[in-house]
């Protein structure tokens, strides 16, 4: 009789563990769905590189969250370089960029965002190493996005690294389409 109770109890505990694992995985995937849609965003990026070069970038664009932990970005950036080697500095430049990203939303509405490569449109330039964190606003209608750690980004042309830089970002996004 004791063996039957222990076996029945073990089967029940095992069944509950499997069920809990399934529910937890389903919920983790469901959290990413909170961001499904298109967001308009604006952010300020400050970077420093070798030789005392720094830049301030005013960026705006759209982020498309697919609801499955992947997405696409399309943006335009006003790049203001502060290069001490050039008298008067570099002239400001406008760049169009696009790329893909991955993201993960937690049960507490905290999310992480990692670019899988941002391309400067019309050039072979790729920027990688962009990682951000943030919080979802009420109903995921707004996002607060920032760096809470140092990002070392790599700029490459045709797979060859031409420089690295350290950057920080802070911005906001607003949902404009639910897709």
Residue-wise pLDDT tens digits, 103-155: 999 999 999 999 888 899 888 888 888 889 999 999 999 999 998 777 888 88
Shared domain check, 40 and 22: no
Say what the pLDDT of residue 88 is.
Answer: 62
What is the three-class DSSP state of 100?
A: strand
Residue 108 and residue 27 in one domain = no
Residues 66 and 111 in one domain: yes
DSSP state of 148: S
Measured from the Cβ of residue 9, the count of other Cβ atoms closer than 10 Å reads 10
pLDDT confidence tier of residue 89, bands split at 50, 70 and 90: low
DSSP secondary structure, 54-97, as one string: EEEEEEEEEEEE-SSSEEEEEEEEEEEEE-TTSTT-PPPEEEEE
Are 21 and 84 part of one and the same domain? Answer: no
Same domain, 173 and 88: yes
Chain segment 26-74, per-residue pLDDT in tens: 445 579 999 999 999 999 999 998 777 888 999 999 999 999 999 999 9
Residues 123 and 67 in one domain: yes
pLDDT, residue 3, reads 52
Rounded to whole angstroms, how far apart are CA atoms 57 and 36? 27
Domain that holds residue 2: 1-31
Same domain, 41 and 92: yes
pTM > 0.75? yes
pLDDT higher for 109 or 162?
A: 109
Task: Mark whether 119 and 151 lie in a shared domain.
Answer: yes
């Amino acid at each position: 009789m004791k063996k039957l109770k222990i076996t029945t109890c073990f089967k029940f505990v095992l069944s509950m563990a499997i069920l809990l694992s399934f529910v937890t995985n389903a919920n983790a995937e469901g959290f990413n769905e909170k961001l499904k849609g298109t967001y308009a965003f604006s952010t300020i990026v400050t970077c420093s590189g070798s030789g005392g070069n720094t830049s301030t970038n005013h960026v705006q664009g759209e982020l498309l969250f697919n609801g499955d932990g992947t997405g696409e970005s399309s943006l335009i950036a006003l790049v203001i370089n502060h290069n001490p080697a050039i008298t008067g500095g570099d002239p400001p430049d406008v760049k169009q960029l696009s790329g893909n990203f991955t993201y993960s939303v937690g049960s507490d509405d905290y999310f992480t965002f990692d670019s899988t490569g941002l391309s400067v449109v019309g050039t072979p330039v790729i920027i990688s190493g962009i990682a951000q964190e943030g919080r979802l606003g009420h109903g995921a209608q707004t996002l607060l996005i920032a760096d809470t750690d140092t990002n070392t980004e790599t700029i490459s042309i045709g797979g060859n690294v031409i420089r690295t830089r350290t950057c920080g970002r802070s911005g906001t996004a607003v949902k404009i389409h639910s897709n």
